[in-house]
Amino acid sequence: MEGYAKVTRYCRNMRGYGPNPPDPQWPGGARVAVQFVVNYEEGGENCILHGDEASEAFLSEIVGAAAWPAMRHWNMESIYEYGARAGFWRLHRLFTQAQVPVTVFGVASALARAPEQVAAMQEAGWEIASHGLKWIDYRAHAQEDERRDLDEAVRLHTEVVGEAPTGLYLGRTSVNSVKLAIEQGGFAWLSDTYDDDLPYWLDHDGQGNPMRPQLVIPYTLDANDMRFATAQGFNSGDQFFAYLKDAFDTLYEEGRAGRPAMMSVGLHCRLVGRPGRVAALKRFVDYVKGHEKVWLPRRIDIARHWMEHHPYRAPDLVPSRMDEAAFVERFGGIFEHSPWIAERALRLELGPAHDSAAGLHNALSRAFRSASGEERLDVLKAHPDLAGKLEGARRLTPESTREQASAGLDALTDEERARFTDLNTRYVQKFGFPFIIAVKDHTKDGILKAFETRIENSREEEFATACAEVERIAYLRLKDMLPS
């Protein structure tokens, strides 16, 4: 809108739930939800037999593996084949005997080459989610090509499994992958993020574009057996078990203290399915089952629970999504009679981190702090005297009226009013601006004591103190409008 600054959107959400995440209310009062994922990729990896340009080079026993252009890599293929032929069945036995349901991230083309494994997954009651059409890297794919592959992944998955996937984890994503999955519209949950310990709703791309609300259940790359095949990863099952145990113990204690969360464990048939590693996984499964108040769901179970107990609710006020005029109108009075502060804040990089009281306060305060001394003095002068002429004439802003009333400054005795009038007069004569204090932090007696103490300050000291109080008042006003 002409006359206002252009908002610079920052698409990444660095705040999430902030300091106060919701109680997930896990079934049975569980302190933690532990969710096991079996990635089924074998037969969907890069291979010229699959129409790819080169062999696979990712997540295998071959240290420093590189793609072989236009050639089959026999060793690589056989490592993946081990996951299908032996590793899968070892994991299947472990989880079915322990009566622990899992979610499968199934590559559609791999599932099509594994009818017996699919039947075993279904018989065990496992959730079979989509892991894309092929286990390939989409970072450089054109958006339309990726969309076409996603549509084909859903079609093929439905044909092979007998029902469409309700969840998706692509894994080797592009910047468009999550957006395309949301546009596809058929997934109850997505997991192509690693950014939280709880599910959340994604409804905006951060660029000013709304999206259909989509439930996200974050995944993990740390509590993941892929680190058996990466640098600085796990060298032994003991390391794997120790890491999983530490993660579980931390989350379990946090849940005991009233902050339940979720733990994902990522597994691959060709990696942890090896005899030398699966023993550590079994120890961890037994360890988890040895604790009370632990929920062991599939991802679809988490999704259904979240939809029931934490359904999507459109936020009432999201500063980073507001247009320029609305933003200035809503927040232009946070710093008393100084809408230019809101206008300048719009020139900063605004994003989800600024949608809380603390976040927006920081943006507005930056604009105030970077202003000239004369401009900041004007802000100080815009504040009314405490219990002064404007209050008596009922000409305070609504915010100032409420604030002064909260400290009882609207109901002074004649003696108290005379005292305030004398202090106001002497203070303004000395400093050239009215006495400013965040009255919500003080009682009437405390305000008078601060008044008498601060009137002895030097002008430089008092100017800095008054500016700090202006910022404090702004924060308290924002707390009444936005989540803390």
By DSSP bridging, strand 8-9 and strand 189-190 are unpaired
Q: Coil, strand or helix: which one is 160? A: helix
In the set 131, 268, 354, 383, the catalytic residue is 383
Q: Which amino acid is at 304?
A: R
Going by C-alpha positions, the residue among 471, 301, 234 that lies closest to residue 369 is 471
By DSSP bridging, strand 200-204 and strand 210-216 are antiparallel
**Separation CA 237–CA 234 (nearest Å):** 7
Q: At what angle do helices 115-123 and 88-98 cross, to 10 degrees?
A: 10
Q: Is 92 a catalytic residue?
A: no
**What's phi and psi for 220, nearest 5 deg?**
-145, 145
Write the burial class of residue 106 (CB in 10 Å: 0-12 exposed, 13-18 middle, 19+ buried).
buried
Helices within 257-356 (DSSP H only) = 275-289, 299-309, 324-331, 339-345
Q: Coil, strand or helix: which one is 201? A: strand
Q: How far is CA 403 from the centre of its chain?
A: 34
Tally of residues, the chain: 484
Cite the active site residues. Answer: 383
